[in-house]
Each structure stands twice: as structure tokens, then as C-alpha cells.
Amino acid sequence: MPELTVAAALENAGRSLLRRSVSGEPRGVLCAMGVCFECRMEIGGSPHRRACMEMEGSRSDRPESSIESLECEVAVVGAGPAGVAAACRSAEAGVRTIALDENPAPGGQIHRHLPGKPPPEGARAWLERLASSGTTVRTGVAVVDATPGAGGFRLFAEDGEGNVVTVSARTVVLATGARELFLPFPGWTLPGVMGAGGAQAMAKMGADVRGRVAVVAGSGPLLLPVAAYLESAGAEVALVAEQAGLGALGRFAAGLALQPRKLLEAARYRGGFFPAPYRSGTWVAEAHGRERVEAVTVTDGANRYTLDCDLAAVGYGLVPNTELARLLGCELRKGAVAVDGSQQTSVSGLFAAGEPCGVAGLETAIAEGEIAGFAAAGRFDAASAAAHRLAAARVRGRRLAVAMERTFRPRAELAAAVRADTIVCRCEDVRLASIAAADSAREAKLATRAGMGPCQGRVCGPALEFLFGWDSDTVRPPVKPARLGSLVAMEDSA
């Protein structure tokens, strides 16, 4: 029987509270994807481990860390749909390829599954292809630094036990995916309040949601499959609240007339949680509870009402993960990595595919991954039939992405609902009142430590941009928290 993540096992044992914050508030899982570090705790004698990323029975009894050096022609960072497609195309071309991913198994968040358990049907063909492609796949390793060098790039990664992996590659494909956009509201730090994708990820990794009463809220197409998945796993979905208005949703649906498969997919998901109500123009205004969420208040801007629940899955779309791209000097446009027709960034030999280039859906990520894999391996032929097919899929997806961004952009009322005593930086318990006088993200960081916690601004950075219009602060290595000993080892091996 597959092991569960530590977070899922604790949830099943009735323990949602995993730690206390710096001011003593109860905290539990938020993202369930290793981004927010809210679930960090001591595991196997080692502190500050992320319970959502560690498998049950994890130990940390190695006497000392090891250093492993690998070489390849193409390195792929991320083994979600885009990364898998890129690695397959590169390795199948006879090019030595290594794929690195922080999760316990390849597949990314959309195809997340327990190691040893069959992957979702939609991922099976690609994952089987990856396994037979000749790609060296290293899971459970986080790339924390990257440098360009003569003839290529060097990647520096750390695994969960503090071991260092360095990879020298001629070309690199960044398929680093995206993370959820969390917007603060009173009570959002209570255990049991998770991201929409986070709640689904927890269930996929073994958390038993049978009998749980869930409210799914926020914005974007992700809400529908999350609600359907939770219902199929035994939860009772009490409400799905979409903050976008009915008119905007209607225009978005009309724009899908040329993609009827998308409409049928949405209808199938809606049927998965029928007859639970789906409300447009509605959002969570507040979460209530002591040691975990017990109810939420929702509003449409005119009326408010409270629903009892013990799971609130709230997410406002996705934010591209661009930290490594920024570290390596890539040009960004509107918060996403800029690429050319072969998915090459502004840095020669460095490619990007999927959500780092902007969130556009599964088919687009796969198409861009294939293009990037061909190009990184030196096999991209823009005039070929395959290139034309993939380019057409990319264009369709990017048009859809523009429509999604327009439709599901968070409304101003969400910012107005944040009270002075609401925490906006979860790592450091920084409240709105103490940050409102700042003029920039840098000033807020210096005055209040906002953005200086373990998540390194991945949660509060986009929230502060929404609240105040501040751009994210600079990026520097390590782009994810790493052990001091690992950093020293990386410096010595550089």
C-alpha cells in the first residue's frame, strides 16, 4: 500500500494544527505543494521539514550529506506536463537528458499521485513514455541555484535529506510550473483553510475527506475540477463561489464556441458536484474558528451569509514560477518568461515551457514542452509538420490564456475587505496596519520583514502586488530555502 504524505497522515489522524506561528497562531497546510512552508515541522528528528512533501515514515539519520555531480546535454527543471514532454522529446532524439523535480513522483500538480500508485489516466501515456525515453529522472530534489558558464549551465539542487546534486548541462529547459494565488481575508490563516489546488493535492496524496463539509471559492476554471474531485472523494461540497461576475463568465463561455470540448469538460465537472450551488459574483469575506476553520462568511457585495464547513478551499488562479528564470537573467513580460518561437528565452541556450511562460492550460504546456525539448536537443525544425501542429496548439492556448486573465482577474472588493488586523505576510505574521504606510515591497520588507520568511515572498508577494500595486522584490540565491551545509557544499563544488 502506498505511503501517505506526513500532512495527509496527520490530517487523517485528526491533527490539522501542525505548528504555531511566530505570534502563536495555529497553522496548518495551505498550498500542499511545497511552496508556502506553512506545514513545516520536525520530522524524523530534522526540523523545518514540509509535511506536505515528506512521505510517512521519513527519516533523517544520514551521518553527513553527500555531493553528487551529474553531466548531461539537456537538463529539464520540473517534471510536470511541460517538463515531461520536453524530456521525452529531448531523450528520444538521442540526447542525454536529466529531469529534476521536487515532488515525490513526476506528473506535476495536475497529475499529482502517490509514489507506487497508478498515475491518473490522462498522465499515464506520457509518464510511461518518460520512463522508456532514457531520461534520468531525479525526484525529491529542489533546484535552489543556477549559474551560466562556459558551454552551458550549472544547476545546484538539494534533496530532502540535505544531499547536494549538481548538474552541468549544455542547455536547460525551465518547466517550473506555477503556484496558487492566495489573497488575504480575515481568518485565512486558520488550519482547514487551504488553496483550492491545495485541497485537491492533499486529497490526491492520501488525506481522507469523506464526511468533510467543503466550501470551494476564489476564481478561475480550477474551482470546477477541485469541487468535483472533492465530491468524488466523499466530501460534501456546500458551495462553489466564483468571484467573477455572471456577465464575464457568459462572455468567456461564448468565446469557447470554437472549442466545444472545453465547454463539455466544464459541464462534466459541474455535474460532478451537482446539486451543490455554484454562485458567480460571490467570494469568501471571512473564515471563523478557533483552532481550525468552523465556518465561512460569503458575500456578493450586497448580502452576507455564513456557512458551516470544516474545509475552505480558496484560490484565485495561478502565478508563474519565474524565480530561476529571473536569477539567470531572462526577460519577463507581464510577469511571465518571454520566449521566441522555439521557446528559447532571452538567454541563449535557456528554454522555458508551460506555466512559467504564462498560465494557459494542459494542452499548451505539453505543446510548449515538446517544442522546447526539440529545440534544446538541437532538433527543432520550424518548417516541419510537427512544428506547425505544436505552434497551432500553442497559439490556441495563449489566446485562451488572455481570455482567462480578463475574465477571472480579482475584483477590487477583495482588497477592500482586508481589515487592518488581517495578516498579509503569513511567515512573519505581518498585519495590514503595519505595512500600509510603506511605499514599496522593499520598504515593507525593511520595516516589517514582510517577504523575508521561508516562502521567500511566494505567498505574500503576489498578494501585496494585488493590494498595493507593488512589484516583487529582487531574486537571489537560494531561490528556495536550503540547509547552510548544502549551500557551503554548493559553493565548494562551484
Q: What is the largest CA-CA distance in the chain?
A: 62
Say if residue 197 is in the same domain as residue 312. yes
Domain-located, residue 390: no
**Between 385-407 and 362-376, two packed helices, what is the crossing angle to 10 degrees?**
140
- Residue 236 sits in a domain whose CATH number is 3.50.50.60
What confidence score (pLDDT) does residue 155 get? 97
Determine the pLDDT at residue 45.
83
> What's 306-324 look like in SS3?
EEECCEEEEECCEEECCHH
Domain-embedded: residue 403: no
Mean pLDDT of the chain: 93
184 found inside a domain = no
Is 475 inside a domain boundary?
no
pLDDT classification of 64: cutoffs 50, 70, 90: low
Task: Give, in order, the Cα–Cα distances in Å from 98 to each of 60, 482, 489.
Answer: 26, 21, 21
pLDDT exceeds cutoff 90 at 78: yes
Does 376 map to a domain?
yes
pLDDT in tens, 359-372: 999 999 999 999 99
10 and 90 in one domain?
A: no
Domain range for 230 is 193-317
Residues 244 and 307 in one domain: yes
Are 225 and 309 contained in the same domain? yes
Integer Rg of the chain from CA: 22
Q: What is the pLDDT of residue 393?
A: 94
Q: Is residue 80 part of a domain?
A: yes
Cell of 436: 500600509
Is 349 found in the same domain as 453?
A: no
d(CA 215, CA 76): 37
Within 13 Å, how many C-alpha atoms sit on residue 273's CB side? 28
The DSSP element (H or E) to which 10 belongs, if any, is helix 6-12
Is residue 484 situated within a structural domain? no
Residues 22 and 53 in one domain: yes
Q: Is 439 exposed, middle or buried (0-12, 13-18, 19+ CB in 10 A)?
A: exposed
Q: Using CA atoms, how far apart are residues 175 and 110, in angstroms rounded to an integer?
A: 14
How many Cα atoms are found within 13 Å in the side-chain-facing hemisphere of 375? 25
Pick the range with the lowest mean pLDDT from 23-37, 190-204, 251-265. Answer: 251-265
- Which of the listed ranges 201-205, 236-240, 435-439 does the model predict with the highest average pLDDT? 236-240
Query: Which candidate, 302, 308, 303, 384, places its Cα nearest to that of 342?
Result: 384
* Domains in the chain, number: 4
Q: Are residues 211 and 287 in the same domain?
A: yes
Domain shared by 229 and 280, yes or no: yes
From 298, 317, 336, the end of a domain falls on 317
Instruction: Write out pLDDT tens, residues 261-318.
Output: 999 999 999 999 999 999 999 999 999 999 999 999 999 999 999 999 999 999 999 9
Give the bridge partners for 193, in sequence order. 312
Same domain, 323 and 374: yes
Q: pLDDT class for 1, splitting at 50, 70, 90?
A: very low
CB 189 within 8 A of CB 20: no
Is 313 found in the same domain as 222? yes
Mark whether 197 and 297 lie in a shared domain. Answer: yes
Look up residue 388 and give its amino acid: H
Residues 17 and 109 in one domain: no
> Does the pLDDT value for residue 181 go beyond 50?
yes
Q: Considering the domain boundaries, does residue 478 fall inside one? A: no
